[in-house]
Amino acid sequence: MRITDFAEMRKLADEFGLLILADNTFLSPYFQKPLQLGADIVVHSGTKFLGGHNDVLAGFVCVKGKELSEKLRYTYKTVGCSLSPFDSFLVLRGIKTLSVRLERQQENAKKIALWLKNRPEVTEVYYPGLEDHPGYEVNRKQATGAGSMLSFRVDTVERTRKILESVKLISYAESLGGVESLITYPMLQTHGDVPVEIREHLGITEDFLRMSVGIENAEDLIKDLEQAFQ
């Protein structure tokens, strides 16, 4: 949930003659447009918000300027890493509802973040849409929303286990960005192959959980968390 400042990155890149590659998966083009913010190359996992329904694997690479675009085109034509017709159909179909899904997901995420903040069992909440998030101002400067990804810490390791085992409406599963809410245990899942010292340095400890908030009724999601916390 750390926010990178595009303007500062652009200054550094210009100073050292580098290209900027941004992974815009978490916000999607609906909330953030990195090419307009100074990035040269933008990647998106189409599997996540763009597809939006957890039923397709896809990826996008977008570049600035003719030279990069020709290089990229040559690569995918020769390597063959382009999307099948049916997968393309699913992603295009998903994109039609991107704006409505993301507005609802963001609204739900904010409600959940505020609810988590008031729980005595929760020791930290990381959501860039909260005014006290360290990246709040930077995010507001460069993006039109904070998205629907959030993470938090709880008081004990037992509680992380209890929450993961008890959620019913929310699924304990990897991936993110779809219409269904998912909760993950980054230590074992997304960052399971990262060496312990690096993982801990990144703050991905055993009390740490991540949520991708979906489009369900926010009250239902909160009730589900409430029973899982007990």
Ligand X SMILES: *Cc1c(COP(=O)(O)O)cnc(C)c1O
Helices (H), the chain: 6-16, 28-31, 66-79, 85-95, 98-117, 136-142, 157-166, 196-201, 218-229
Instruction: Please report whether residue 25 would count as binding ligand X according to CB under 6 A.
Output: yes
Three-state secondary-structure class, residue 182? strand
Coil, strand, or helix at residue 152?
A: strand
Least CB distance to ligand X at residue 125 (A): 20
Segment interacting with ligand X, rule: CB under 6 A, options 23-31, 111-119, 130-138, 205-213 = 23-31
Q: What count of other Cβ atoms lies within 10 Å of the Cβ of residue 29?
A: 17
Alpha-carbon distance 74 to 86, whole Å? 23
Between 105 and 228, CB nearer to ligand X:
105
Q: How far is the CB of 220 from ligand X (least distance, A)?
A: 25
Residue 155: half-sphere exposure toward Cβ, Cα within 13 Å: 8
Please say which residue, 46 or 129, places its beta carbon nearer to ligand X: 46
Question: Taking CB under 6 A as the rule, does residue 57 contact ligand X?
Answer: yes
For residues 47 and 181, which CB has a smaller minimum distance to ligand X in the complex? 47
Q: Which of 9, 29, 59, 140 binds ligand X (CB under 6 A)?
A: 59
State which residue, 23 or 107, has the beta carbon closest to ligand X: 23
Residue 185: which H helix or E strand, with range?
none
Q: Which two tokens stand for residue 114?
A: 């505020």
Q: Is 135 in the site for ligand X (CB under 6 A)?
A: no
Three-class HEC string of 27-64: CHHHHCCHHHHCCCEEEEEHHHHHCCCCCCCCEEEEEC
User: Should residue 28 be labelled a site residue for ligand X when binding is judged by CB under 6 A?
Assistant: no
User: Residue 177 or residue 228: which is nearer to ligand X going by CB?
Assistant: 177
Of 29-48, binders to ligand X (CB under 6 A) are 45, 47-48
Minimum distance of ligand X from residue 119's CB (angstroms)? 26
Alpha carbon distance 43, 57 (integer Å)? 14
Please tell me whether residue 184 binds ligand X under the rule CB under 6 A: no
Pick between residue 176 and residue 221 the one whose CB is nearest to ligand X: 176
Q: Does 148 bind ligand X (CB under 6 A)?
A: no
Does 87 help bind ligand X (rule: CB under 6 A)?
no
Smallest distance from the beta carbon of 83 to ligand X, in angstroms?
11
Q: What is the CA radius of gyration of the chain?
A: 19
Binding site for ligand X (CB under 6 A): 23, 25-26, 45, 47-48, 57, 59, 176
